[in-house]
Amino acid sequence: MAGREDAVETMFGPGGALAEAGARYEPRAQQAAMGRAVAEALDGGHCLVVEAGTGVGKSLAYLLPAALWAVDHGRRVLVSTYTRALQEQILDKELPTAARALGILGRSLRYAMLQGADNYLCVQRLSRLRQSPGFFEEDGHGSLLDELAAWARTAETGRRAQLPRLVPQPLWSKLSRDPDLCLGPQGPYWGSCLYRKDRERAERSHIVVVNHALLLSGARLPPYDALIVDEAHSLEDAAAGHFGVVVTSGRLMRLLDELRPLPPGFPELAQPTSRCLAEFSAFLEEAARAHGWPGRGAEPGGRLWEADGKHEEPACLAALDAALARLCADGELEAKAEEAVLTLRLAHARLAALRADLRAIIEGREEDVARWVEWSPAGVSLRTSPLDVGPRLGESLLGRGVPVVLTSATLASGAGLRGFKAALALDGARELRLDSPFDYESQAALLVQDDLPPPSDDKRYVSALTRRCREIVSRVPGGVFIRFSSWKMLRAGPARLRRSI
């Protein structure tokens, strides 16, 4: 077997393992350079920041040396992306290619993917929903739930993308995995848990693909010996969201959904749960109106939170908390059904966390934390975020003593990579910048329009922009991707284009 160093050096060449394993492979000097740098970072235990332009082939440039390093040393590499689309691409396309290339070199690569909780079907929540009184008559999803239950009995993964049928989002929100509600090994559903199967597969793998949200969530991931962060330009935003808090009516709704089957056995819950969601939603909407929310149907927006002392925690939360606390302190509670007892205690802990997050927003005074009200088609949310996530990232993620590679096509600014490194407290990281192999001068054009009406003039702007898009589409061979800057334009532009093309 050739040495690993020789394999890394030659695999990207015209006659290398990647050319033999990948269809239509074209050697690129930038890809080979990145592969060598990643291999050196892994071997030396360094932190490396790589900006690689479009077309370099970043995924394979880090996957191949990482796979060799993991297989040869019996280690595990965690690869994190920001988008689900890139996760799926790496799992379905890039990793099979990497596995074929390693097979040519006499190695066997094992890999897996883990996604965030809301991407998995939860057999516990599915079972409860099927048993929920009146659900079938109310929502008409009985046959779909039966089909999902039958499928889950033999499925190897619970990822939403693998389900046999499309599940509408309102129903999915009642079926997806929720770590706060999971009964775990103590509950009756652990043996059939589909997430557990994916988790066990990940623990047997050399490379595990996750996303930034899961990476930062504090979830118990398989131990890893190196970390590669793709789409690293989004890591700071993902960290800001993770280290902050978000309060929505959806959080309370999910908690109440779990409590819904319990009042027959615990009548004390009937009154505090009956109108809790409506009162809490009204509180959020009133807070939004006080900060300039025009009302439902408005364009997405938000305002900084004004700490004026006018907003207080709605009484419904305290009433529900008190009812749950009394039940959890009841000496006879243990005599009840074990599953119901666990549900009550988990709900009590979850409500306490919701109340603490709400107080952090309406009562907080820290100067290094931003607080704001946000509204979108999904509803109103209250949010906080630290102004500087670098130190926290350094402590919780990037300061673990394992080699770290961060890469994206867009990391540098006027000061090169210095700004990106400073934002993530990576001042000592090594740098590599690679241009794109594409010939932009002969294969691309930039068109700047300086004669369009101002966007504030909705009707004229939409009409003029649509007309210009129609002209471009008629002159460009092949497909055209059009990206709009607002939901309003996304709704209006395509509708006009469809009528005119």
Q: What is the pLDDT along the chain (501 residues), one digit of tens a residue?
A: 345 566 777 888 888 899 888 767 888 999 999 999 999 999 999 999 999 998 999 999 999 999 999 999 999 999 999 999 999 999 999 999 999 999 999 999 999 999 988 899 999 999 988 887 655 554 567 889 999 999 999 999 999 999 999 999 889 988 999 887 788 888 889 999 999 999 999 999 999 999 999 999 878 899 999 999 999 999 999 999 889 999 999 999 989 988 888 878 888 899 999 999 999 999 999 999 999 999 888 888 999 998 767 889 999 999 999 999 999 888 777 767 777 888 898 899 999 999 999 999 998 888 899 999 999 988 999 999 999 998 888 877 787 889 999 999 999 988 889 999 988 988 889 999 999 988 888 878 888 888 889 888 888 888 898 888 888 888 888 888 888 878 778 888 888 888 766
480: CB partners within 8 A, 6+ apart: 472, 473
Q: What is the CATH number of domain 4-109+209-225+402-434?
A: 3.40.50
Nearest 5°: phi and psi at 358? -65, -45
Torsion sign over Cα 71, 76, 77, 82: positive
Which tokens is 209 given?
């693909």
What local confidence, expressed as pLDDT, does residue 2 receive? Answer: 45
d(CA 348, CA 360): 18
What local confidence, expressed as pLDDT, does residue 80 receive? Answer: 97
Tokens 């775990």 belong to 184
Tokens 């900060």 belong to 291
Q: Helix, strand or coil for residue 3? A: coil
Domain residue limits, the chain: 4-109+209-225+402-434, 117-197, 241-386, 450-500
Q: Which residues sit opposite 189 in a β-bridge?
A: none
CA distance readout (Å), 92 to 80, 88, 202, 309: 15, 6, 15, 52
d(CA 148, CA 157): 12
CA distance readout (Å), 10 to 7, 29, 313: 5, 12, 63
d(CA 251, CA 354): 8
d(CA 124, CA 423): 41
Torsion sign over Cα 316, 318, 323, 327: positive
| Residues shown for the chain | 501
Are the C-beta atoms of residues 219 and 179 closer than 8 Å to each other?
A: yes
